[in-house]
Amino acid sequence: SATIGFTPDDKTNFYASYKQYFIAPTVNQLYSSGSGNPDLKYETGYTYELGMKHYFDKNTTIDLNAYRRKSSDAIGLVKKNDGSDDSIYTNYDIEKTKGFSVKVNKSINDCINLGAGYTYIYVDPQPNKNPNKNGYLPRGVWNFNIGYDNDRLAVDFDGRGVINREGRKAAKVHTSTSFWVWDISANYKCSNSIKLFGKIGNIFNTNYTERVYDLDPEAWYASPGRNYMVGMEYTF
């Protein structure tokens, strides 16, 4: 890998990087029953990236970056040629990916901080498949955060929006292609020894999945719905 940076003033930094990499196949990809392939090659590739960080003032920053990636011998599930519906892990020739991200942070005062970010990714489709690893990866992800922190109380309100995670062509689950999940957590320091904490996860009880490749209705493992956690930490 190689990276070069340029700082024209004390508020802005530009950088460019080039990286080569390889990814070895997993044990599951090599030897799992039915879909394993012990003849898999490792994936190789390279990435170009351009980025910038700018301080508008001491309380406001923005981070930007964009990249392109090209992989050879990428590993994925391919349907077998035996007339069945079974698939096997296979190396395919070339996989091209591009994307960018934007992140903004703003400190309102010594206690309150705001953050917002967006990430976009597009992976060229393989034959007869959807883009983004046959719909496994979303096209976009939003992240929002509001944080409050003083000497005793810390509160975080977080939101994440997954946009256009469409699944494979043969089995789309339209209710899960895009979703938002919001969480809130708090910590209160009663003393130097005692800390109370609590969290509400998935506040709006969104029905979504992040666990299954195909987004297939017959193999759809839902992520947790609304959930609660309270506790206490004591330091001796």
Distance CA 180, CA 138 (A): 13
Which pLDDT score, from 0 to 100, does residue 219 have? 65
- pLDDT of the residue at 214: 58
| pLDDT at 47 (0 to 100) | 97
Residue 162 lies in a domain: yes
Query: What is the pLDDT at residue 7?
Result: 96
CA proximity to 207, closest of 175, 182, 229, 162: 175
The pLDDT of residue 172 is 54
Tell me, yes or no, whether 82 lies in a domain. no
Q: What is the pLDDT of residue 232?
A: 96
Tell me whether residue 51 is in a domain.
Answer: no
pLDDT at position 220: 67
- Residue 169's identity, in one-letter code, is K
Q: Can you give the pLDDT at residue 212?
A: 61
pLDDT reported for residue 86: 80
Could you tell me which residues come within 8 angstroms of residue 30 by beta carbon, excluding any fewer than 6 positions away?
36, 37, 38, 40, 89
Count of domains for the chain: 1
Q: Is residue 142 part of a domain?
A: yes
- Domain membership of residue 169 as a residue range: 108-234
Query: Which stretches of the chain are assigned E, i.e. beta strand?
Result: 2-9, 12-23, 43-57, 60-79, 87-107, 112-123, 140-149, 153-163, 179-189, 194-201, 227-234
Provide the pLDDT for residue 148: 97
pLDDT less than 70: residues of the chain: 169-176, 211-220
